[in-house]
């Protein structure tokens, strides 16, 4: 057995005791999370010390931090980093923005595409920032409906757009792998703000652009 398979006990602050000398090969990333995941592996009936699982707690801790990194991002900062004064009156639409999120009920992935449109009000935002905005809300524990509304509200509020439309289409692994086991169902959610909510023609123009 290589390395130190079992993590040493934590002190009251959640760190390793001072007398613990880390083995060079053993990187420690987040002791508290790693110990919890190691415990979970045991509770699932696994042997956390077997070679294939020795570094799993560390990897899972890193993966979970990445998949929830949206909590540490500010939608306002993302948008305001690339706002340009521009007298554009036409609808701006970014289609097929890939996203991956975690359902808050099962901590299982749901993933798909977001389509975002807005009607500028003297200001436009860099297109890559719209994709970043989707990630900012997708990389959290979510339900698809809230993810969709949060993207729409952030653009409406921080960009001051006349209107915003967001449609998301997603496959939920919690439905595909467990429960009803419906592999091919897709869930569609939409959020309309401002002119897209009030004006059926604006909404229809956006939907028309999505179906091309």
Would you name the residues annotated as active-site residues?
103-106, 144, 172, 174
Residue 73 CA to residue 120 CA, distance in Å, equals 24
Q: By CB under 5 A, how many residues form the interface with Zn ion?
A: 4
Partnered with residue 170 across adjacent β-strands are 112, 187
Among 73, 143, 174, 176, binds Zn ion (CB under 5 A): 174
Is residue 146 a contact point for Zn ion (CB under 5 A)? no
Residue nearest to Zn ion (CB): 174
Q: Which is nearer to Zn ion, 79 or 170 (CB)?
A: 170
Q: Which is nearer to Zn ion, 72 or 105 (CB)?
A: 105
Q: Say if CB 137 and CB 150 are below 8 A apart.
A: yes
- Three-state DSSP at 74 gives coil
Q: Which is nearer to Zn ion, 39 or 105 (CB)?
A: 105
Contact criterion met (CB below 8 Å) for 100 and 66: no
Closest to Zn ion by CB, 49 vs 174, is: 174
The least CB distance from residue 179 to Zn ion, in Å, is 8
| Distance of alpha carbon 129 from alpha carbon 97, whole angstroms | 11
Residue 141: both structure tokens together: 């524990």
Task: Give the x-and-dash track for 103-122 against Zn ion (CB under 5 A).
Answer: x-xx----------------
| Bridge pairing between strands 92-103 and 83-85 | unpaired
- Minimum CB–partner distance for residue 143 and Zn ion (Å): 8
- Residues numbered 87 to 106 that lie near Zn ion (CB under 5 A) are 103, 105-106
- Shortest gap between Cβ of 141 and Zn ion (angstroms)? 10
Question: Distance between CA 186 and CA 95 in Å, rounded?
Answer: 17
Q: Whole-angstrom Cα distance, residue 60 to residue 57?
A: 5
Count CB-CB contacts under 10 A for residue 162: 20
CB of 79 to Zn ion, least distance (A): 29
Which residues in this chain contact Zn ion in the complex, by CB under 5 A? Answer: 103, 105-106, 174
């Amino acid at each position: 057995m290589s390395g130190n398979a079992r993590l040493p006990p934590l002190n009251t602050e959640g760190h390793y005791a001072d007398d613990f000398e880390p083995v060079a090969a053993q990187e420690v990333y987040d002791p508290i999370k790693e110990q919890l995941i190691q415990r979970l592996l045991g509770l699932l009936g696994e042997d956390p010390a077997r070679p294939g699982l020795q570094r799993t707690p560390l990897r899972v801790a890193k993966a979970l931090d990445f998949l929830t990194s949206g909590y540490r991002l500010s939608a306002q900062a993302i948008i305001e980093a690339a706002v340009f004064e521009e007298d554009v009156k036409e609808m701006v639409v970014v289609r097929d923005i890939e996203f991956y999120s975690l359902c808050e009920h099962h901590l299982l992935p749901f993933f798909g595409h977001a389509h975002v449109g807005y009607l500028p009000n003297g200001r436009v935002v860099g297109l890559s920032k719209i994709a970043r905005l989707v990630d900012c809300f997708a990389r959290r524990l979510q339900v698809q409906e809230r993810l969709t509304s949060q993207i729409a509200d952030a653009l409406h509020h921080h960009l001051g757009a006349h209107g915003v439309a967001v449609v998301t289409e997603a496959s939920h692994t919690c439905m595909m792998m467990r429960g009803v086991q419906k592999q091919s169902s897709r869930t569609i959610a939409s959020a309309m703000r401002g002119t897209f909510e009030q004006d059926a023609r604006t909404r229809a123009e956006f939907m028309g652009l999505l179906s091309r």
